[in-house]
Structure 1
Amino acid sequence: MVVEARKSVSHVETNLASVVAFLQVKVMVADMPGFMQVHAFRCARRTYDSLEKFSSKHMAYNMKKEFDKVYGPAWHCIVGSNFGSFVTHATGCFLYFSMEKLYILLFKTKVQKATD
């Protein structure tokens, strides 16, 4: 008899915690599933590490394009060391975290088709 191991919520939380520690990010506020958070952290770290000269605009653009491509429009990303915000976001699509001395806000807004 083969018993398949089920992934529990604690497994996901442990995995998320290990990724956070490994990529050296700090979650400030999250309303986003763990797998999407991990995707955001990896995308941010990959972009940050690949740039010869850091550009917050380039990082924000890369993250926005990646999330638009994978999760559909309309994602927004703000990257900086000092900013304030007040945004409306789609449920389950908000992440505010820090990495190095940067703060990254990633969120999705609902898209409505224009009616005539």
Structure 2
Amino acid sequence: MSKLNFKVVDMEQAMQEQARRVIPTNISNTYFQSIFEAFENLREERFIANKIRDDFDKIFGPSWNVIVGKNFGSHVVHQTKSYLFASYGDDEIYILIWKSG
């Protein structure tokens, strides 16, 4: 099974666990189920990003932002303890999650 590899994290532990729930991974805990489900059930990056954002908004309140893709640049302003940049799988699909305003 593919793994989620954190690149940069400024996020509370509970939020990291939710990220692992929604990204497919061999680590099973509450925070990452949403990302896991998104990658398992959806194929297009925009739908994966939308699923992750919706789950984070429901669990941790609005306003979460998510980018999913193989190649992108970014510069974001985020709230403290609400930023995660990770890669997933052998294809190294990247996931950027952050909360703003």
Alignment TM-score, normalising by the size of structure 2: 0.81
Give the 3 Å change call, closer, same or farther, for CA 65–103 of structure 1 in structure 2.
same
Structure 1 residue matching 2:67: 3-state secondary structure: strand
Where is the strand percentage greater, Structure 1 or Structure 2?
Answer: 2
Please state which structure has a larger fraction of its residues in helix.
Answer: 1
Is structure 2 residue 12 aligned with structure 1 residue 33? yes
* Poorly superposed stretches of 4+, deviation over 6 Å: none
Q: Distance in 2 between matches of 1:31 and 1:86?
A: 15
What does residue 99 of structure 2 align with? 108
Counterpart residue identity of residue 40, structure 1: A
Name the larger-Rg structure: 1
Structure 1 unaligned residues grouped into runs of 5+: 1-21, 111-116
How does 1:10-49 map onto structure 2 within 5 Å? Answer: 24-43=3-22, 44-49=35-40
| Superposition CA RMSD, Å | 1.3
Identify which range, 42-51 or 90-99, moves more after superposition.
Answer: 42-51
Q: Secondary structure at the match of 2:79?
A: coil
- Structure 2 gap ranges (5+): 23-34
Percent of residue pairs identical: 36
Native 8 Å contact 1:25 1:98 kept in 2: yes
Is the Cα contact below 8 Å between 1:79 and 1:104 reproduced in 2?
A: yes
